[in-house]
Amino acid sequence: MKEFFSHLFTPKESNNHRAKILHHANLFLSIVFLLLTSFFIQTVKAKFPSVLGIQVNISSEELLTLTNKERQSVGVGSLIFNEKLSQAASNKAQDMFEYDYWAHNSPSGKTPWVFIKSSGYRYVYAGENLARGFSTAEDVIRAWMASPDHRNNMLSSNYRDVGFAVKIGKLNGEETVLIVEELGNLNMPIAKGKVQEIAKAAKTNVAVKQAVSENREPVINSVSFSSNITVAIVFLFISVLLLDMIIVEKKKIMRFVGHNIDHILYLILIMVLVGILSKGVLI
Amino acid sequence: MFTRLSKHSLYYLSLVVILVLGFLLVYNSSNRSFQIGTVVVTTFFYVLWGIIHHLINHDLSVKIVIEYILIGAFGLTIIFFLLSTI
């Protein structure tokens, strides 16, 4: 057994001084194995979403509390939860799933304002923030705060009301969670002193109005499962390349192969990108 | 190893620049298609740069070209695996 692993992961005479796993045939097999495993995981996800699926624990109440916390930290008045805006957000999320798009404007040209107006909210100012693929309200707010446009929307004193929708559905054939935030104001923005009054009013309204929320806890969270597997595989290859490079340098073996350092640098990038891409996206 | 690093410092510096640029573009984008496109383009330049480097060193062979292509394909498969299973 020890001999087998040594042959697989370290350069020696038996593997022509190149870790066996780094041979062309084995690299090719690793690619095929990854592709087959991904199809298997996709099938399990589709057939048994309660076993392996996206874990979501987001409520509009949480989103509102965190949004207002951010607004208060910069001295802007709190937003008040609005049923009509929540209805607009829900309709928007439903429309994105139904017509399979991920954008502020639908393929047929429907803008966010169409959804807000049709909910009966006659705004003077309105705005929309979208997020996709996040598991917690904290992650959504953190991502919105990190994006200048979303942050400006969230913290704008032009808005007084807000509505949220959190919906799970299929987009481009993939199960995902959409978070829609519709912001609005029925009147012209008011002076700063008055905003404080709204902040108080918001606090009393929040607890009562718990609107849309998604709470799904599968046995295995597909996001952490997939990102952990990919990080582990890439880490294994980086370690083997590093070990291979050190041993060959130490033994001063001449061989004509690619530069391990190139591959290590590239795979480090891939590992970092796995961390970035496993998080949700905004638009 | 360190001798090679200092001897080919310009090559490694340019490779790091390519990879860091790829990272920054993906990190600062919230558009999934753009992020995927950036990973593909970065991988292409990694393969191309590796081949050019071996060509300059006069030690390029078909075996080496295949190796860079396979490592690049492996990296892209990892990203595909992640995005199709999360």
pLDDT digits (tens, 9 = 90+) for A34-46: 999 999 998 888 8
Cα separation, A170 vs A98, in Å, equals 9
- pLDDT at A206 (0 to 100): 35
Look up residue B50 and give its amino acid: G
Written in H, E and C, the secondary structure of A77-111 is: CCCEECHHHHHHHHHHHHHHHHCCCCCCCCCCCCC
List the single range of A197-206, A212-221, B19-28 with lowest mean pLDDT: A197-206
For helices A137-146 and A148-155, angle between their N-to-C axes, nearest 10 degrees: 110
pLDDT at residue A210 is higher than 70: no
Interface test with B, best of A30, A248, A277, A279 (most B CBs within 10 A): A277
Task: Report the 10 Å Cβ neighbour count for B85.
Answer: 23
Closest partner residue to A230 among B59, B67, B81, by Cβ?
Answer: B81
Cα separation, A157 vs A190, in Å, equals 8
Look up residue A71 and give its amino acid: R
pLDDT at residue A215 is higher than 70: no
- pLDDT at B5 (0 to 100): 66
Element (H, E) at A235: helix A222-251
Residues A118-160: pLDDT tens digits? Answer: 999 998 889 999 998 888 899 899 989 988 889 999 999 999 9
Residues B7-65: pLDDT tens digits? Answer: 778 888 999 999 999 999 998 887 788 999 999 999 999 999 999 999 998 888 999 99
Partner-chain contact A245 B16, CB within 8 Å: no
Partner-chain contact B31 A27, CB within 8 Å: no
Q: By C-alpha distance, which of B83, B79, B72, B85 is closest to A38?
A: B85
What single-letter DSSP state applies at residue A217?
Answer: -
End-to-end CA distance of chain B: 38
ipTM rounded to 2 decimals: 0.94
Residues A5-42: pLDDT tens digits? Answer: 888 898 888 888 899 999 999 999 999 999 999 999 98
Q: What percent of chain A has pLDDT over 90?
A: 52
* Candidate ranges A14-18, A86-90, A168-172, B32-36; pick with highest mean pLDDT: A86-90
On whether any CB of chain B is under 8 Å from the CB of A155, the answer is no
A161: left (phi over 0), alpha (psi -120 to 50) or beta: beta
pLDDT at residue B85 is higher than 90: no
The pLDDT confidence band at residue A258, using thresholds 50, 70 and 90, is: confident
Average pLDDT of the segment spanning A169-198 = 72
Residues A242-257: pLDDT tens digits? Answer: 999 999 888 887 777 8
Phi, psi torsion values for A126, nearest 5 degrees? -150, 155
- Of residues A109 and B29, more confidence is placed in A109
Q: By C-alpha distance, which of A207, A222, A202 is closest to A59?
A: A207
Taking a C-beta distance cutoff of 8 angstroms, is the pair A71, A79 a contact? yes
Residues of A in contact with B31 (CB under 8 A): 281, 283
Residues of B in contact with A37 (CB under 8 A): 81
The mean predicted confidence, pLDDT, of chain A is: 85
- Helix, strand or coil for residue A118? helix
Q: How far is CA A136 from CA A41, A213, A216, in A?
A: 23, 11, 11
SS3 content of chain A, % helix, strand, coil (to 5): 55, 15, 30
Partner-chain contact B70 A31, CB within 8 Å: yes
Tokens describing residue A29: 């097999």
Chain A with chain B: Cβ pairs closer than 8 A? 130
Partner-chain contact A38 B30, CB within 8 Å: no
Look up residue B85 and give its amino acid: T
End-to-end CA distance of chain A: 51
Interface test with B, best of A230, A234, A281 (most B CBs within 10 A): A230
- pLDDT at A252 (0 to 100): 81
On whether any CB of chain B is under 8 Å from the CB of A51, the answer is no
Residues A261-279: pLDDT tens digits? Answer: 999 999 999 999 999 998 8
- pLDDT at A209 (0 to 100): 38
Look up residue B23 and give its amino acid: F
pLDDT at residue A2 is higher than 90: no
Element (H, E) at A216: strand A213-216
pTM of the model: 0.75
How many Cα atoms sit within 13 Å of A164 on the Cβ side? 29
pLDDT at residue A211 is higher than 70: no
Closest partner residue to B75 among A102, A174, A270, by Cβ?
Answer: A270
Q: By C-alpha distance, which of A41, A39, A57 is closest to A49?
A: A41
Q: Are strands A52-53 and A220-221 parallel, antiparallel or unpaired?
A: parallel
Q: Are strands A174-185 and A161-171 parallel, antiparallel or unpaired?
A: antiparallel
On whether any CB of chain B is under 8 Å from the CB of A265, the answer is yes
Closest partner residue to A27 among B15, B50, B70, by Cβ?
Answer: B70
Tokens describing residue A42: 């996709």
pLDDT at residue A84 is higher than 70: yes
Work out the minimum CA distance from A8 to partner chain B, whole angstroms.
17
Closest partner residue to B1 among A147, A230, A249, by Cβ?
Answer: A249
On whether any CB of chain B is under 8 Å from the CB of A229, the answer is yes
Tokens describing residue B57: 């060193």
Give strand ranges (E) for B1-86: none
Cα separation, A213 vs A62, in Å, equals 9
Element (H, E) at A150: helix A148-155
pLDDT at residue A3 is higher than 60: yes
